[in-house]
Every structure is written in structure tokens, then in C-alpha cells.
Structure 1
């Protein structure tokens, strides 16, 4: 199954980083957040990617082209210019890098990826958010309801510290998901190829008319994810992700769980159970 990733936006709210690189190439723990997202999909066996490029597309192309060399041992013959790669550790990924235009909107980028989806069910997410969503359970949920589109619904992390007060005294301070608030679109979609008919062209915003029409037609379902999800729209959010990574407890680092399951002789990823009740949703 193909995985589509949108990686073409300007990332203006991360201007400190994105003046020189596209937002999906902003690093967490020394690796682009795009790499973290792809590692999560690969953990579940999804290794075939199509990435929609736009702003500073050449930066992502160069990274992917150089990845094999940078992840290998090299023997360089300066006289002949021959370079032999050997050893090292490289993921078994196939990646279509598709330049979808600088000013193309999200819907337009998705539609331009249609020829790469093989007219089959595919997954889609943004190149700036990580999660520990169980992709096997997400796909099973999608197949169970028979609709055209499933999005992963999440509760946004609190932007500011949550305070629990007893009169004027603070008895609890924490930054945690806003359980009392509504669900939001967390991306991590599963989609049928018919969704391309809902996208008019390059200037279409996926989050507006296409998702609204899918909801009106009864073709949009939400997989409710109660565990970790975090986007990276701002420097503050980048620092949150960086801090989690440095702590050694990054919840989205699912490939560690996967490797442990192989070593222990268990099958699959044993994540927290997820409430997979259907929910009609508008983004």
C-alpha cells in the first residue's frame, strides 16, 4: 500500500527554521521530522512512499539522494571518480519525489499524486506531525466501514499549561491533551481512489470543500486516537518534540517497540488499546 506525504508548504510559522529548508526537513534528534514519519509507517510494513514537494523541493530531493551514501561505508577512487557503497544500514524504501508546484494547495498536491497511487486504497499524512497511531488498527477500521475516507481524530495538546485550582491555590499544573475539548483532524488518513473526484484542481484546499463534501455524502469517518499526537507548526512545538526525543521516551518512536517484539518472539506491536468507534466528522 502506498503512503502519500504532503511536504510542500511554506511553514511560515517556523520561519526561524524554514528560511533555509522546508518544514518536513526540520530536525528532531538530528533527523528530519519527515524521516520520523516515514520510520513510523515502515515499522508497520508500509515502505512505498510518494512525497508531494513544493517549497524548497530540491532540499528534500538532495537529502533522499544522499541518504544511501551517508548511511553507508564508502570506498572512493579519486582518480576514476568511482564510489562504492558497502555496509551501513539503509531502510528498504521506495520513494516517488513529485514536484507539485510552489503555490499548489493541499488538495491539488493530493490530486497530483493520483498517478502514483495505482488506483488502490492508500494512506496519507502531513509532513509535519508525528503520532503513535496503530496503523494496522487504523486500516482495519477503514475497511470495516466501507466508506471512501478515514481521518485520524485526535484531541489537541493544550497550548498552555492546564491549571486545576482550589480557590486561589494551584493544586495541579500540567500540559496534556484537552480531554474536555472536541476532536480535531490529526491527518493519518486512509483513502480510496474515488476521493480524487472530490478535488477540483491545484487551488483546492483538501481541508475545505473535499472533506466537507465527503462528510455531507456520508463518506468520511473518524478513527478516534486517544494516545500521542503532536504537530510541529511552531518553534515551541519543535522544542516539545526535541525534549521528548532527548528524554529517550519519544512516544512516536514505534520502531523500538517493533524491534523489541522481534527480539522477544512476539508478533505485532502491542500498543495501548484504541477506541475505534465510527464518527462522522468534518475537518
Structure 2
């Protein structure tokens, strides 16, 4: 299935990182978080991507145009006008990537509306370009097909803003850094859509929000199915969350790493 990834936002809540690049290009383990997301979908066999870009779209284009050179150490001989790799050649992922500039100030629903010109089938997957999880994508797709609805959203339990303490008397017996809360579900950002959801939206309108307009309307119509995910999920809205994801990766226990 094709995967549409929303990559066009301004990333204002992590401005210190997004002055020079879009948020999906912020690196975790020396790779953009967008790369991690694409690798995750690829591990389930989904290798056809539509990147809905906007803010600093050229940075994303340049990364994939020069993917091999960005991914490896290289030697440049200016006199000979040659470039060679200094390490064993990386096996390139089997991705087809369509990069579409959907506008800097375009809202998420309107971005997906524009993406329909590059989506070939009736069903497609969609997600945001700033979050990772260990969601079973195959199970989400199977759940969606069984539901008979126009769309499926993955529900997750958000992480607490603060560390959780277990206390006995005057002693802390355990400390958990930003654990998942036991109450409430939120939009986890891993979707399955039927293309008709967006084809019926008005043309040339850039202010349609996926959450406020599209998902709310689908829920009112009884056309929004939910897949509940109790496992790992983490967005990257702040520098603290970026550092948390980096720590997972550096420690070799990134829950989203399936490759």
C-alpha cells in the first residue's frame, strides 16, 4: 500500500531545530526521523511513499536526491571530479518516493487532498512525519478492512509529561521517565483511509484540518474506526522528546526498530 506522510509543518514548538530544516529531517541516530518512519513502514512491505512537504521542502528533496552520499562517508577528488564511498556500499531501501510541495501554510487535510493525485489505489496509509511507534501496521490494515469504514485511526495512550514515582513511606522505590498514562486515548497518527474521504473535499482550499474537519466529520457519520495500541508510541514535539528518542536509539532499545 502507498503511504502518505505529512512533512510540511513549521515545527514551531521545536524552533531551535527547525530554523534550517523541516521537523521530519531532525536526526535520531544520525538519520532523519522521516527515514525511521519510512523504514518502519517498509518493514511491513509498504515501500511506495508520497511525501506531503511544505516548509523547507527543498531540504527533503536534496536528502533523497543525494541519499547515498548523505548516508555514507565519501571522498571527493576535485581535480578528477569524482566522488567515491569510503565504506561498504549500503544496500539501498526499495522505496519509490514522490515528493510533493503542498504549500507552506497548507493545513493537514488539504495536504492529503493534494496527495490524491499521486495515490493510485482506493486504500492508502497515512501518518505524520514526526512520530514513531511499534504499532502492527498489518493488524491495523486488517482491522480497517474488517470494519467496513471509510477510515481507521490508531488510538494510543500518551506519555505523561513528568516522571512517575513509586513511593513507599519516605522512599522512592522506582522512577519511570515519562511513562504511558493509564487513562485516556489520543490520536496516534497512524491511519488507513479510503481515497473518497479526500476526493469529496473542495478543490483549491488550503485550510482543511485533518483532525478538526475530516476526522470529526467521519466520526459524526459513524465512518471512523479505531485500532487501539497499548504499546510504544512517541511524538517529537519538543527538544526533550527528541532527546528521549535519541536515548532509545543510542542505547540500542528503540522499540520502533524492526530492520
Q: Does 1:191 align with 2:190?
A: no
Q: Deviations over 1:102-121 (max 9, x none)?
A: 11011111100011111420
* 8 Å CA contact retained: 2:157, 2:180: yes
Distance in 1 (CA, whole Å) between partners of 2:12 and 2:141 is 32
Distance in 1 (CA, whole Å) between partners of 2:36 and 2:76 is 30
Q: In the alignment, what sits opposite 2:210?
A: 206
Distance in 2 (CA, whole Å) between partners of 1:139 and 1:233 is 27
Give the unaligned 5+ runs of structure 2.
Answer: none
Q: In the alignment, what sits opposite 1:240?
A: 244
1:80–1:120 distance in 2 versus 1, CA, 3 Å: farther
Cα shift at 1:78: 6.2
Distance in 1 (CA, whole Å) between partners of 2:30 and 2:72 is 17
Cα shift at 1:74: 7.9
**Matched ranges for 1:64-143 at <5 A:** 64-71=64-71, 87-143=89-145
**Matched ranges for 1:155-194 at <5 A:** 155-166=157-168, 169-174=171-176, 175-179=178-182, 181-194=183-196
Indicate the larger mover: 66-75 or 102-111: 66-75
Give the unaligned 5+ runs of structure 1.
Answer: 256-283
* 8 Å CA contact retained: 1:198, 1:210: no
RMSD between superposed Cα atoms in Å: 2.3
- Give secondary structure in 2 for the equivalent of 1:111: helix
Distance in 1 (CA, whole Å) between partners of 2:78 and 2:168 is 72
1:31–1:76 distance in 2 versus 1, CA, 3 Å: closer
Indicate the larger mover: 163-172 or 99-108: 163-172
* 8 Å CA contact retained: 1:4, 1:124: yes
Indicate the larger mover: 221-230 or 162-171: 162-171
Cα shift at 1:171: 4.0
- Give secondary structure in 2 for the equivalent of 1:254: coil
Q: Deviations over 1:249-274 (max 9, x none)?
A: 0001011xxxxxxxxxxxxxxxxxxx
Cα shift at 1:176: 1.1
Count of residue pairs the alignment pairs up: 254
1:242–1:120 distance in 2 versus 1, CA, 3 Å: same
- Give secondary structure in 2 for the equivalent of 1:248: coil
Q: In the alignment, what sits opposite 1:3?
A: 3
Q: In the alignment, what sits opposite 1:55?
A: 55
